[in-house]
């Protein structure tokens, strides 16, 4: 895709890129496109949380939220997120301030307790492997690596992981215990899993009796267009296929309310929920129910959540539009890059020429524009084509974002044309 057509680009394209890059570095920028952090304006949308629950300290069911207990979280809050996460409220847990920690703890408990359907603890097995659709989320990979789980990359297409590859790997290798999925507006390439992909994930035969789909539905409510995407219901499909315990569904309000002070959710089969609750009960006497009541009073119901996410979109959409506009204006028709046009989520994936990503990131850093390290989108930080760059447009202001994108595209031109000219 990037190595096409105008390999005969006139030297003046390279000269212009070099001049632009020199100007860029002279400007002494200090910009950051690394992480999917909400901007202060997005956080301001939830400012009301800061003085809630005010003079209330009882949940609707009468629970004193200030005291111990309530390991499954407030039922009324779980109700709000039941639809969007596609898990009935009675099988959905509301927990602490992060879904990542729920994923971590599920791995921990799988290693140190016996999962429903498992024969032994993972700690007692010689080898554990996970399928990692690429490009993917670096924190998933870091978690997997931390526990010594072998990561097997799986290519993605426009409707999710390549299911021929997935089905073959899970069928033949009993050490393959899981797969990481961000099914809606995937991190980083914005892919929405297709119905057939989800159906195949649900019904495929796995050699491991305790295979789990880590379904990180982080962007379930994070639309960027007028047409909110719906995906197929994995939990229902798994149950219908006789694999009710296969999905672990995760979600959080980190990118809905406050990134550091939201609520995480876990949903699954009754057996899995009981398993996690039993293990969690040794760890904690209950989650922060005051924060859950705070969220309940603030969001009110599923419609309140929808309206709130419209407000989020009104702040995010212009940023994603800016990214598209500048990519098109600066790189369109150059043959130097391709990029995604996500309809939701937090990221744009920029594919530069093979062997160019690290150099683009290095040149951008020299010019004061910090990007997620090239390779972070792949297991072990190893992008074999060295071509994928993740752009996180949410945090900078529109003005900063414009500067950063112009700088980034300058670096792409510089590195791309240098490569063409053999420099």
Which residues form the interface with a copy of itself (CB under 8 A)? 35, 37-38, 40, 43, 46-47, 49-57, 64-70, 96-98, 100-101, 104-105, 108, 111-113, 123, 139, 142-143, 146-147, 254, 258-261, 279, 282-291
Q: Tell me the C-alpha distance between 309 and 37, whole Å.
A: 16
Of 260 and 332, which has the nearer Cβ to a copy of itself? 260
Q: Least distance to a copy of itself from the beta carbon of 217, Å?
A: 18
Nearer to a copy of itself (CB atom), residue 160 or residue 178: 178
Residues facing 150 on adjacent strands: 129
Rounded least distance, CB 280 to a copy of itself, Å: 9
End-to-end CA distance of the chain: 21
- Distance of closest approach, residue 232 Cβ to a copy of itself, in angstroms: 29
How many whole angstroms from its chain centre is CA 25?
32
Q: How many CB atoms lie within 10 A of CB 394?
A: 21
For a copy of itself, which is the closer residue by CB, 228 or 287?
A: 287
Nearer to a copy of itself, 107 or 360 (CB): 107
DSSP string, 376-392: TTSGGG--TT--EEEE-
In this structure, are residues 348 and 190 in contact, taking their beta carbons and an 8 Å threshold? yes
User: Angle at the Cα of 151 (from 149 to 152), degrees rounded to 5?
Assistant: 145
Report the distance separating Cα 140 and Cα 136, nearest Å: 8
Q: How far is the CB of 270 from a copy of itself (least distance, A)?
A: 21
For residue 305, give the nearest of 248, 343, 234, 255 by alpha carbon.
255
Nearer to a copy of itself, 39 or 412 (CB): 39
Residue 256: CB minimum distance to a copy of itself, A: 12
* E runs forming strands in 48-125: 92-94
| Residue 37 tokens, joined | 């952090």
Nearer to a copy of itself, 120 or 205 (CB): 120
The residue (of 21 and 130) whose beta carbon lies closer to a copy of itself is 130
Of 1 and 142, CB closest to a copy of itself: 142
What whole-number distance in Å separates Cα of residue 346 and Cα of residue 320? 9
Q: Closest separation between CB of residue 43 and a copy of itself, Å?
A: 4
> In whole angstroms, what is the distance from residue 291 CA to residue 322 CA?
35
Closest CB 96 distance from a copy of itself, rounded Å: 6
8 Å CB contact between 367 and 411: yes
Residue 370 bridge partners (DSSP): 32
Smallest separation (angstroms) from a copy of itself to the CB of 60: 16
Distance between CA atoms of residues 298 and 292, nearest Å: 10
């Amino acid at each position: 895709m990037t190595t096409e057509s105008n390999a005969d680009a006139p030297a003046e394209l390279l000269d212009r890129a070099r001049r632009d890059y020199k100007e860029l570095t002279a400007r002494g920028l200090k910009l950051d496109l690394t992480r999917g952090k909400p901007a202060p304006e997005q956080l301001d949308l939830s400012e009301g949380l800061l003085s809630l629950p005010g003079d209330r300290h009882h949940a609707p069911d009468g629970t004193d939220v200030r005291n111990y207990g309530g390991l499954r979280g407030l039922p009324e809050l779980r109700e709000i997120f039941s639809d969007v996460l596609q898990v009935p409220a009675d099988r959905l847990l509301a927990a602490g301030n992060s879904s990542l920690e729920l994923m971590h703890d599920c791995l921990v408990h799988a290693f140190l307790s016996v999962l429903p359907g498992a024969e032994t603890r993972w700690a007692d097995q010689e080898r554990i492997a996970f399928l990692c659709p690429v490009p993917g989320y670096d924190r998933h990979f870091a978690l997997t690596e931390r526990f010594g789980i072998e990561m097997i990359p799986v290519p993605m297409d426009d409707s999710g992981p390549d299911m021929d590859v997935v089905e073959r790997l899970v069928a033949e290798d009993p050490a393959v215990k899981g797969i990481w999925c961000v099914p809606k507006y995937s991190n980083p390439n914005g892919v929405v899993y297709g119905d057939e992909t989800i159906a195949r994930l649900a019904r495929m035969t796995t050699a491991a009796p305790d295979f789990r789909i880590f379904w990180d539905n982080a962007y379930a409510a994070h639309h960027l267009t007028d047409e909110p995407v719906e995906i197929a219901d994995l939990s229902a499909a798994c149950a219908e296929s006789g694999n009710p315990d296969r999905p672990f569904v995760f979600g959080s309000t980190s990118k809905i309310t406050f990134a550091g002070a939201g609520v995480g959710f876990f949903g699954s089969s009754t057996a899995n929920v009981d398993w996690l609750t039993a293990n969690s009960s040794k760890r904690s006497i209950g989650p922060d129910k005051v924060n859950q009541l705070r969220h309940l009073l603030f969001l009110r119901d599923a419609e309140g959540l929808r309206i709130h996410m419209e407000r989020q979109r009104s702040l995010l959409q212009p940023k994603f539009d800016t990214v598209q506009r500048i990519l098109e204006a600066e790189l369109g028709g150059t043959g130097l890059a391709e990029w995604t046009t996500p309809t939701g989520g937090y990221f744009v994936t920029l594919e530069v020429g093979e062997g160019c990503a690290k150099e683009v990131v290095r040149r951008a850093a020299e010019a004061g524009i910090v990007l997620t390290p090239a390779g972070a989108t792949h297991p072990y930080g190893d992008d074999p084509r060295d071509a994928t760059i993740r752009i996180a447009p949410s945090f900078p202001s529109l003005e900063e974002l414009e500067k950063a994108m112009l700088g980034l595209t300058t670096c792409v031109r510089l590195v791309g044309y240098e490569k063409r000219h053999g420099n």
